[in-house]
Structure 1
Amino acid sequence: MAGVDDGARDPVTPDHCDHVPGPFFHGTRADLAVGDELVPGRGSNFQAGRVMNHVYFTALVETAAWGAQLATALAGSEERGHVYVVEPLGPFEDDPNVTDKRFPGNPTRSYRTRSPLRVVGEVEDWEGHSPEAVRAMLDGLARLREQGLDVIED
């Protein structure tokens, strides 16, 4: 049956990632152009003062939309944010912050890489989540932060 986790998930590791089909997406508040590269070593959109060792991306527009909306909201911006089509320029792996920790089987199709991601396009017509859903997600993140559980494994 489709969508049932039968335990046969094929984990994505830096040595075993060629089987993951694109396209891939990255949601952010940053204004980028085709050809730009997203690289590790930049500040986090989600934790002030934190420098990230990885660049995060997904194979689902909906997941990238969360990234764009949360990044803009956390920055105090009323802007929509951006969802870019990206190309990984090196190996990548499952995002351990969500895969099997919060969402068994990686249904969000979230990944991370220590290599650059090249912007190859922008999704102009992506649908965002409702203001209520974004507020609920922000409230949930705030609760995790208060409990010291907003840890990003990077």
Structure 2
Amino acid sequence: MVDPLDEGPFYHGTNADLRVGDHLTAGFRSNYRPEIVMNHIYFTALIDGAGLAAEIAVELASGEGTPRVYLVEPTGVFENDPNVTDKKFPGNPTRSYRSTDPLLIVEEITDWTRLSPEALQMWRERLATLREEGRDEIIN
């Protein structure tokens, strides 16, 4: 395991309506690829990164749900997300992490930067291209 680069605060973006005190756990279907059951729960130290994840989760759920960002606390060991760290973004500038242990929901964050309609359309097109090319496995 690589030592994580920071101690938080940490955020998780999703289309799920959660409550303070809930736990996010691995072992459920991916927000991004529902055919995959996740072995890890993913989170970031960048609030707008979590916002982007939330927006994409809604897009991939055919517009179902509301994009939500939660302040979370890891309850156990976590590591740099190897899907992005040193594969796509050396040094983990996305400050992305994963854990097999639950994340505790501390609060819902409402003051994150929403994507503009133009940026959202760009992501729709980017996701469609990845699917067409059979490269959507890069989306966690």
TM > 0.5: yes
Looking at structure 2, the residues matched to 153 and 48 of structure 1 have their Cα atoms a distance apart, in angstroms, of 11
Moved more, 105-114 or 73-82: 73-82
Q: TM-score, normalised by structure 1?
A: 0.82
Q: Would you tell me which structure has more helix in proportion to its own residues?
A: 2
| Residue 88 of structure 2: aligned partner | 102
Shift of residue 85, structure 1, vs aligned partner: 0.3
Give the equivalent residue in structure 1 for 2:122: 136
For 1:122, what is the secondary structure of its paired residue? strand
**Matching residue of 1:23:** 9
**Match of 2:107?**
121
State the aligned residue count. Answer: 140
List runs of 5+ in structure 1 lacking aligned partners: 1-11
Is the 2:32–2:139 Cα contact (8 Å) retained in structure 1?
no
> TM-score when scaled to structure 2?
0.90
Percent same amino acid at aligned positions? 53
Runs of 5+ consecutive residues of structure 2 not aligned to the other structure: none
Counterpart code for 1:30: A
Matches within 5 A, 1:24-63: 24-63=10-49
- Listed one character per residue, the Cα deviations across residues 111-154 of structure 1 (whole Å, up to 9, x for unaligned) are 11111000011111211111221221232222122222222497
**Which 4+ stretches in 1 moved above 3 angstroms?**
none
**Rg larger in 1 or in 2?**
1
What RMSD, in angstroms, separates the aligned Cα atoms of the two structures? 1.9
* Deviation for aligned residue 1:100: 2.2
The one-character-per-residue Cα deviations of 1:97-121 (angstroms, maximum 9, x if unpaired) are: 2222222221111111111000011
CA contact (8 A) 1:53 1:114 kept: yes
SS at match of 1:46: coil
